[in-house]
Amino acid sequence: MSTTSEFARSSYSSVDEEAERLLADRSQVPEPWALYAQLRESEPIKKVFGMTLVTRHDHVNKLYRDQRLSRHQAAIRESEAHSGAAQDNPLMAEARVANISMLINQDEPAHRRIRRLLDETFRPKAVAAWLPRVQEITDELIAAVGDRTEFDLMEALAYPLPEAVICDLMQVPREDHALWGGWIQTVVAAARNVEPTPEVRRAVVEAHVGFLEYFRALVARRRENPGSDLVSDLIRAEDEGDQLSELELLGTLQMLIAAGSETTSNLIGNAMLCLLHHPEQAEKLREDLSLMPGAVEEFLRLGTPSDWALPRVALEDIDLGDGHVVEKGSVVLLSIGSANRDPRVFTDPERLDITRSENRHISFAAGPHFCLGALLARREASAMIGAILTRWPTLELVEEPTYRPTYVRALKELKVRVR
């Protein structure tokens, strides 16, 4: 891996080229830490591919909370770029509106209104009630691996746990995730595609339409036979006059499926990769599982599941001080992965330390957009990582993994061997 000093000795154009390569295909720059270090010091507000990349912790934290950055306007632009105009196809147009209307793509006050309807489901008391089920699912998945001495940890454990939990939360068959999985990967993979091909645009449209039709049918069934699940709860809120439109409901259900599985899967996979690379830390955690809450925060920091926040558009000039200004009209990309390794905030930031204190990472965002499911994701990761360490104390990597070509830090696979 390149070091910061090597970047410092290189020409400025090589830094530009590396930044462009990173944004063009995250999987081709699996360890951009030296690049981030160089940018934080030399150009923390960096123009790349017409976007503004922000790399310092204080800037990222401040901009997350600044309502002059619009996620909604960026979502509209993304939809136009990746799914076309769609004027001639009413279903496609509805699917686009539903996608733009999901909670994560809203600004205030719409964001606050929709989030209020979801808050109850993800409060600590509600999450605590789910923990026995999370543990049951974890135990089932561990048992299913059986006596295999070599397996893909992502396929066998990291992906299935959050998928099963979100299916149970919505009370739908787990096999339905076979439908969603392809749609999620299509949309996530295209999200940072600078110049989507006609094939990519067509696939994104088909994914959005698939989500729309699936959830529209599900909502219709729950209206006839409501239950105690999340879908029924949102329908009841809508019926009680809390101003949740049909397309907001359908888009938010799509968001819960994607965010509820993708982020947690990547957290588990990246955490286990950290531990496999640092067996002394794995042993310390195995010997004292009470360290798990702090360890998960360190995995979130060093193995950040989403390297960048969803883009935002600057509605006016934003002065960050020290001569750094985000210009009006800029498409802003907040680098969470860089912020989480900023030495201004973290001592020895490149080191994995499961006992690190004062861990002010931004992996779950900040401000109004702080991740709704953060507590549930932490609990799922804790349960699975603890179970893996306990069941297989001699686990080792078969080979170094590669990453999917997407803005999230997502392993294609994580092949492990029981010694």
Q: Which tokens is 179 given? A: 């439908």
Evaluate if residue 2 carries a pLDDT over 70.
no
Residues 6+ apart with CB under 8 A from 202: none
At 11 the pLDDT is 41
Parallel/antiparallel/unpaired status of strands 312-314 and 51-54:
unpaired
Neighbours of 128 (CB within 10 A): 11
pLDDT, tens digit (0-9, with 9 covering 90-100), for 113-135: 889 888 888 889 989 999 999 99
Q: Token pair 């001699």 is at which residue?
A: 394
pLDDT, tens digit (0-9, with 9 covering 90-100), for 20-62: 988 888 888 889 999 999 999 999 999 998 899 999 999 999 9
Across residues 280-289, what is the average pLDDT? Answer: 98
pLDDT band for 234, please (50, 70, 90 cuts): confident
244 vs 250, higher pLDDT: 250
CB 395 within 8 A of CB 276: yes
At 3 the pLDDT is 38
190 vs 214, higher pLDDT: 214
Helix (H, G, I), strand (E, B) or coil at 102: coil
Across residues 74-89, what is the average pLDDT? Answer: 73
pLDDT band for 304, please (50, 70, 90 cuts): very high
Q: Which of 189, 184, 155 is nearest to 405 (CA)?
A: 189
Task: Give the C-alpha separation, 13 to 302, whole Å.
Answer: 28
* Domain 44-418 sits in CATH 2.60.40.10: no
Q: Domain map of the chain by residue range?
A: 44-418
Task: Give the C-alpha separation, 161 to 145, whole Å.
Answer: 13
In the predicted model, what is the mean pLDDT of the chain?
A: 89
At 6 the pLDDT is 39
Q: Which residues in 231-298 belong to E strands, given as ranges?
A: none
Determine the straight-line distance between the first and last CA of the chain, rounded to whole angstroms. Answer: 28
Evaluate if residue 99 carries a pLDDT over 80.
yes
Task: Give the C-alpha separation, 363 to 340, whole Å.
Answer: 8
Across residues 270-282, what is the average pLDDT? Answer: 98
Neighbours of 89 (CB within 10 A): 14
Fill in the DSSP letter of residue 327: P
Evaluate if residue 192 carries a pLDDT over 70.
no
pLDDT band for 244, please (50, 70, 90 cuts): confident
60 vs 92, higher pLDDT: 60
68 vs 169, higher pLDDT: 68
Q: Which of 73, 105, 103, 100 is nearest to 208 (CA)?
A: 100
At 240 the pLDDT is 60
pLDDT, tens digit (0-9, with 9 covering 90-100), for 382-398: 999 999 999 999 999 99
At 241 the pLDDT is 57
Residues 6+ apart with CB under 8 A from 293: 378, 382
At 312 the pLDDT is 96
Across residues 254-275, what is the average pLDDT? Answer: 91
Across residues 345-354, what is the average pLDDT? Answer: 97
